[in-house]
Amino acid sequence: MERLVQLVKVFSDINRFKILILVLREQEVCVCEICDTLELSQPFISRHLKQIREVDILESTQEGKWVIYSLTENPDSTFNMLD
């Protein structure tokens, strides 16, 4: 039940939802692209990305000075409410 509450919280915020849609569309995206696309500040976006990562929907990889975000390898397991 706690897992479901966490997921609902992530999807309940319009900005986090927009971030997820952007990542779904682009497959991989860096913070600067998210900021530019959504016209929001980097600290604001980073805070939302942290919340999304905490529920294992997104993962991040470091490429030089850039942090690239993508969906987790197995997003289906993220939504398994029986875990």
What does pTM read for this prediction? 0.79
How is residue 56 annotated by DSSP?
A: T
Q: What is the pLDDT of residues 11-27, one digit of tens each?
A: 888 999 999 999 999 99
Cβ within 8 Å of residue 52, ≥6 positions away: 10, 16, 19, 20, 58
pLDDT of residue 78: 52
Give the mean pLDDT of the chain. Answer: 85
Q: Is the pLDDT of residue 69 over 70?
A: yes
Strands of 28-30's sheet in order across: 28-30, 66-71, 58-63
Percentage of the chain beyond pLDDT 90 is 53
- The answer to whether the beta carbons of residues 21 and 48 sit under 8 Å apart is no
